[in-house]
């Protein structure tokens, strides 16, 4: 009797514990992806990117003699129906650790067991399960550095081999057509523009890792904060959809470290920020929802506002910030330094609640990750674990002088700043919704707030909170 493999954010054949164990069982396997209400709730860009990932992954399964069956509906219902259709003995999946998904998965597990079916979950989304890394007292880490020290020397299993063949079921149940799901429908921001920048699927992810280790890693430590330089791995979008395992990236990074490559240690540390984010989201799911430090509830955050809308549109009149926001529009990602500057500007100079920015990133990023996005925003806002103190306010102009000294990044994405704007700067106007009424011939807007006034207002608000 077959086993059902419920794929979610693990769209890969290599180093996939669920798949490897299922293949080893010798049973026929029925891979399925379910468009359930939790998946329907994804932001526009992540949902669109998911569709691209599913298309490539379905082909990868076909190449090993299998298929990806697509079904829509509440997960438990879909799985129970499929199990009845093919006479499956049970369902397997890779664990996810965000609160809503966990609640869903627990419900599915209980429901399947009540129907007499096996329900088994597997690790695979992170290097270590979020609860495996513990402090000496058996608690969880709130500060990155000791977390890193705890992770650094922990043995890491895998990578598991890629199955050459995935045994099919004898009769394939009906599948939805991916086109009919219209996963890109909400992607009003020109999907055609962002499509020029995505890198979808396992083969691309592996090539990215190899390409990164082939050269850029050597300059990573020195230049990873310079957004105009392409020295980071670009793997976040693939890690998000599980097109490559974090363990695979870890092992490759460790080999580079052993070979004495300059940026390898720093790269591994960054990868462990992802682990730390999942560790925190697992232990404190509210990190994605409210101020991690409760005392921040008294802070006079402003909600959404016309200024925040200008921020979203890349029209604040602050070049580094606007370049960052437009980069996200055009490419679906944003350089890490730029994320910090854009987030700092919104939460400090515009005194806006970090959740306004978090939500916009969730809608725009093809590498959207609930853990890293929440931690990133709370870290910048000052309300999160191991956060930068609020009063340390990035000055975007000074930051630009340091990390974009030749204006290459700002000019690459802000057409109004150059006489002869390049393709990426112009692509922003192609990608922006028509209703915004933007044109590359417009004058660059005046600053929505002066850097001095914005900083003083933020500090005054902070001083009051502390009274
Ligand atoms: P590399 O520098 O090559 O790093 C390798 C991998 O390490 C990345 O792919 C990523 O998985 C992980 N990583 C690196 N930096 C961080 C970090 N600071 N936190 C967590 N993981 C990290 N990352 C996301 O993947 N999704 C998000 O939604 C997201 N939102 C963010 C929001 C804010 C406000 C901030 C400040 C950061 C956010 N990050 C997010 C983290 C970081 O900016 C991206 O992971 C990074 O820019 C991805 O580029 P890369 O793959 O080339 O990274």
Burial label, 302 (beta-carbon count in 10 A; 0-12, 13-18, 19+) = middle
Q: Residue 388: is its pLDDT beyond 90?
A: no
Structure confidence by residue, pLDDT tens digits, 131-175:
999 999 999 999 999 999 999 999 999 899 899 999 999 999 999
Does CATH number 1.25.40.80 belong to domain 126-156+198-283? yes
| Ligand 1 contacts CB of residue 245 (under 6 A) | no
Ligand 1 pocket, mutate which of 367, 387, 394, 409 (most atoms under 8 A from CB)? 367
322 is in an annotated binding site: no
Report the alpha-carbon distance of residue 109 to residue 189 in Å, rounded: 37
Confidence of residue 391 (pLDDT cuts 50, 70, 90): confident
**Minimum CA distance residue for ligand 1 atom 2:** 232
Residue 99: helix, strand or coil by DSSP? helix
Domain residue spans of the chain: 1-124, 126-156+198-283, 294-465
Structure confidence by residue, pLDDT tens digits, 437-461:
999 889 999 999 999 999 999 999 9
Structure confidence by residue, pLDDT tens digits, 395-414:
999 999 999 999 999 999 99
pLDDT of residue 189: 66
450 is in an annotated binding site: no
236 is in an annotated binding site: yes
Closest atom of ligand 1 to CA, residue 234: 52
CA of 54 to the centre of ligand 1 (A): 22
Structure confidence by residue, pLDDT tens digits, 102-141:
999 999 999 999 999 999 999 999 999 999 999 999 999 9
In the chain, pLDDT over 90 holds for what percent of residues? 95
| Ligand 1 contacts CB of residue 269 (under 6 A) | no
2.60.40.10, 1.10.150.170, 1.10.579.10, 3.50.50.60: CATH of 294-465: 1.10.579.10
**Minimum CA distance residue for ligand 1 atom 42:** 336
369 is in an annotated binding site: yes
Structure confidence by residue, pLDDT tens digits, 14-41:
999 999 999 999 999 999 999 999 999 9
220 is in an annotated binding site: yes
Structure confidence by residue, pLDDT tens digits, 172-211:
999 999 999 999 998 866 799 999 999 999 999 999 999 9
| Ligand 1 contacts CB of residue 216 (under 6 A) | no
Report the alpha-carbon distance of residue 84 to residue 185 in Å, rounded: 32
Structure confidence by residue, pLDDT tens digits, 48-70:
999 999 999 999 999 999 999 99
Which residues, 6+ apart, have CB-to-CB distance to 461 below 8 Å? 299, 300, 351
CA distances from 438 to 88, 426, 445, 448 (A): 55, 11, 11, 17
234 is in an annotated binding site: yes
**Sheet order of strands, 29-35 included:** 69-72, 29-35, 3-7, 90-94, 118-122
| Ligand 1 contacts CB of residue 213 (under 6 A) | no
* Fold for the domain defined by 1-124: Rossmann fold (3.40.50)
**Minimum CA distance residue for ligand 1 atom 12:** 271
Q: Taking all residues of the chain, what is their mean pLDDT, rounded to a whole number?
A: 96
| Ligand 1 contacts CB of residue 266 (under 6 A) | no
The token pair that represents 207 in the structure block: 């090539």
Confidence of residue 465 (pLDDT cuts 50, 70, 90): confident
């Amino acid at each position: 009797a077959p086993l059902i493999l419920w794929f979610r954010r693990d769209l890969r054949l290599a180093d996939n514990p669920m798949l490897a164990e299922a293949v080893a069982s010798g049973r026929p396997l029925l891979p399925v992806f379910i468009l359930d209400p939790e998946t329907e709730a994804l932001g526009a860009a992540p949902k669109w990117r998911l569709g691209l990932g599913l298309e490539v992954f379905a082909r990868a399964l076909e190449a090993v003699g299998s298929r990806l069956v697509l079904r829509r509906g509440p997960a438990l219902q879909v799985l129970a129906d499929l199990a009845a259709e093919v006479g499956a003995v049970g369902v397997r999946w890779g664990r996810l650790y965000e609160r809503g998904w966990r609640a869903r998965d627990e419900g599915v597990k209980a429901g399947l067991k009540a129907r007499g079916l096996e329900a088994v979950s597997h690790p695979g989304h992170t290097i270590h399960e979020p609860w495996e890394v513990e402090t000496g007292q058996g608690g969880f880490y709130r500060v990155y550095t000791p977390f890193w020290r705890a992770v650094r020397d922990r043995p890491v299993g895998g990578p598991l081999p890629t199955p050459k063949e995935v045994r099919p079921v004898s009769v394939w149940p009906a599948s939805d057509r991916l086109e009919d799901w219209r996963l890109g429908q909400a992607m009003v921001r020109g999907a055609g523009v962002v499509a020029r920048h995505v890198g979808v699927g396992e083969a691309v992810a592996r090539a990215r890792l190899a390409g990164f280790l082939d050269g850029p890693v050597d300059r990573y430590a020195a230049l990873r904060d310079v957004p105009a330089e392409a020295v980071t791995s670009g793997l976040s979008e693939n890690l998000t959809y599980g097109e490559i395992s974090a363990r695979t990236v870890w092992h490759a990074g460790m080999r580079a470290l052993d070979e004495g490559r300059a940026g390898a240690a720093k790269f591994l540390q960054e990868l462990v920020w992802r682990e730390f984010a999942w560790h925190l989201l697992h232990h404190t799911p509210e990190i994605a929802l409210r101020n991690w430090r409760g005392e921040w509830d008294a802070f006079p955050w402003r909600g959404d506002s016309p200024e925040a809308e200008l921020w979203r549109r890349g029209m604040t009149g602050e070049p580094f910030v606007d370049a960052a926001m437009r980069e996200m529009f055009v490419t679906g990602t944003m350089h890490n330094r730029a994320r910090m500057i854009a987030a700092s500007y919104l939460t400090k100079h515009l005194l806006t609640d970090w959740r306004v920015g978090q939500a916009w990133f969730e809608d725009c990023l093809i590498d959207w990750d609930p853990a890293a996005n929440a931690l990133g925003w709370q870290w910048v806002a000052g309300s999160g674990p191991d956060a930068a103190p609020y009063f340390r306010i990035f000055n975007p102009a000074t930051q630009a002088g340091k990390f974009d000294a030749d204006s290459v990044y700002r000019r690459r994405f802000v057409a109004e700043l150059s006489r002869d704007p390049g393709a990426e700067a112009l692509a922003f106007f192609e990608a922006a919704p028509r209703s915004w009424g933007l044109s590359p011939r417009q004058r660059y807007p005046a600053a929505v707030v002066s850097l001095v006034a914005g900083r003083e207002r933020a500090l005054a608000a902070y001083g009051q909170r502390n009274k």
